[in-house]
Amino acid sequence: MKVQPAAYLRTTLPLDLSVLDTLDSGRYHSIWMPDHMVSFWPDSIWTPEFTDLATVSPSPHRHLDAMAVAAAAAVLTDSVPLVTSVIDTVRRHPVMLAQSALTIDHLANGRFILGLGSGETENTVPYGFDFDRPVSRFEEALEVIRLLWDSEGPVDYDGRFYRLHHARLDTEPFEGWPPRIWIGGSGPRTLDIVGRYADGWWPTGAWTPEDYADKLTAVRRSAERAGRDPAAITPCYIQICVMGRDEAAVEEILAAPLVKSFLLQVSAEFLRGLGFEHPMGRDWRGYQDIDPAVLTRERIVEFLDAVRPEMILAVIPHGTPAQVARTIKDYVDAGLRVPKILDYGGMAGIQYAATSAQNVRDAEDELMRLCGDVE
C-alpha cells in the first residue's frame, strides 16, 4: 500500500464536526478518534500560571465518548475510514463493543475500524475498574468479539474474565464483512496478539525507526505462524514531534511546561538508554504511571526544573516541517505506511496553535513528496 497520512478528530469539548468535510476530501487515509476519560496533562499545571491554554479550556479532560463521536462522523462523511484510537477493553465489555462496532459500521457503510488496546492506568484505576492482567483480559475480549461476529446463533464461552451462555449477536455485518480491528500495543505478548487478530497496528512506543522495524517484524512473524497474510496488517504510527519554523521557534516551544510534560510519557528505562536519568526517578514507567489528579504541583515543578531540552530532542523528531518529514521517512523505510503526525508545538500556548496545524500540513506534504510511489 502507498504511504498516506491519517488525521485526528478531536473528541474533546468544544467538539468541531465542521472539519469533517475537509478530512473526507481524499487527502487522508483515515480519521482517528481518541478515547479517554482523562488526558496525560497533570491537573496541577493546567492553570494560567503555567499555560494560557487554561484560559480557553477549564480542564484538559473534557473528553467525549469516541464511539458516539464515530457514529456522528459516520453519517457526516462519505468515503474516509473512521478509526477509534484506541478504545480499551477494561472499561467496555466485549459484547457491547461487538454490537456498537457493528452499529457504527452500518452507519458508515463499512468504513468503521475498531481500534483497541489493553488500557492505561489513568483511564481505569481512578474509576474503580479492575486493571489486573490487562493483556490477558484484552486477548479474551478479542476472542469474544470475533466469536460473536463469526458465529451464527447462540454461543458459549468460558474464559477467565468473560463468560457467555447461549449468547447471540444476530446483527449481520455490513455486506457480510465485519469491521476491521486495529490494535495499539508494543509489548511482546501484545505484538503476538496483533499478528493473530489484527488488521492494523500502532506501537504505543517505538522511539526509533529500528525499534519500529523490529516490532513490525515480530507482528508479521506472529501472523505467519497463525497462517495469516502479514502484508494484510496495516502498519500505522502516531508520530509525536516538535515543529517550528526555525531553530529559535523550536527552542521557545521546548521551554513551555506542557511540552516539557511530554517526558512524563517516556519510561526511565528508555531515557536511560539514551544517556539521561529521568526527572521522575529511576523506576518511572512512562504513561502507565501518569495519574493527572495526584501529580502534585510541587512534584511537577521539580520535574519541570529538571527537564532539559536535549532529553526531549533525543526522543522525538524535531525541527522544521521539512526536517520532521525526513525523519518520518526513516520510519516509512522501516515499514510504516499510515503515519499520524502529532505536533506538540501546539501545547506551547494559544499563539502556537494555528502555526502548529499548518506545520503538520506542511510536514504531510513534504512526506508525501519524499515517499512518491513507495509501496
Give yes or no for a contact between 41 and 97, defined as CB atoms under 8 angstroms apart: no
Between CA 152 and CA 300 the distance in angstroms is 54
Q: Which three cell numbers stand for residue 4?
A: 498516506
Give yes or no for a contact between 367 and 329, defined as CB atoms under 8 angstroms apart: yes
The answer for residues whose C-beta is within 8 angstroms of residue 66's C-beta and 6 or more apart is 11, 33, 34, 35, 84, 85, 87
pLDDT of residue 214: 97
pLDDT of residue 206: 82
Amino acid at 224: E
The answer for residues whose C-beta is within 8 angstroms of residue 234's C-beta and 6 or more apart is 1, 182, 199, 200, 201, 337, 338
Between CA 298 and CA 302 the distance in angstroms is 6
CA 249 to chain centre: 26
Give yes or no for a contact between 79 and 111, defined as CB atoms under 8 angstroms apart: yes
Give yes or no for a contact between 274 and 315, defined as CB atoms under 8 angstroms apart: yes
Long-range contacts of 10-16 (CB under 8 A, 24+ apart): 10/34, 11/35, 11/36, 11/63, 11/64, 11/65, 11/66, 11/69, 12/39, 12/57, 12/60, 12/62, 12/63, 12/64, 13/57, 13/62, 13/64, 15/64, 15/69
Q: Is the dihedral of CA 102, 106, 109, 115 positive or negative?
A: negative
pLDDT of residue 166: 97
Strands 7-8 and 31-33: parallel
In angstroms, the Cα distances linking 263 to 269, 277, 312 are 12, 11, 7
pLDDT of residue 359: 97
Other beta carbons within 10 Å of 28: 20
Q: Give, for all 375 residues of the chain, the pLDDT tens digit.
A: 899 999 999 999 999 999 999 999 999 999 999 999 999 999 999 999 999 999 999 999 999 999 999 999 999 999 999 999 999 999 999 999 999 999 999 999 999 999 999 998 889 989 999 999 999 999 999 999 999 999 999 999 999 999 999 999 999 999 999 999 999 999 999 999 999 999 999 998 788 999 999 999 999 999 999 999 999 999 999 999 999 999 999 999 999 999 999 999 999 999 999 999 999 999 999 988 888 888 999 999 999 999 999 999 999 999 999 999 999 999 999 999 999 999 999 999 999 988 999 999 999 999 999 998 787
The H or E element that residue 137 is part of is helix 134-150
Q: Which three cell numbers stand for residue 179?
A: 469491521
Amino acid at 19: V
Between CA 256 and CA 356 the distance in angstroms is 14
Angle between helices 66-76 and 94-107 (to 10 degrees): 20
The DSSP-derived string for 269-294 is HHHHHTT---TT-TT--GGGG--TTT
Angle between helices 209-225 and 188-197 (to 10 degrees): 50
Q: 109-122 as b/e, with b when 16 or more CB fall inside 10 Å?
A: eebbbbbbbbbbeb
pLDDT of residue 139: 98
Q: Which three cell numbers stand for residue 353?
A: 496553535
Give yes or no for a contact between 114 and 181, defined as CB atoms under 8 angstroms apart: yes
**What is the SS3 assignment for 319-355?**
ECHHHHHHHHHHHHHCCCCEEEEEEHHHHHCHHHHHH
Residue with cell 508479521: 220
Between CA 10 and CA 68 the distance in angstroms is 13
What distance, in Å, lies between the first and last C-alpha atoms of the chain? 5
Amino acid at 266: V
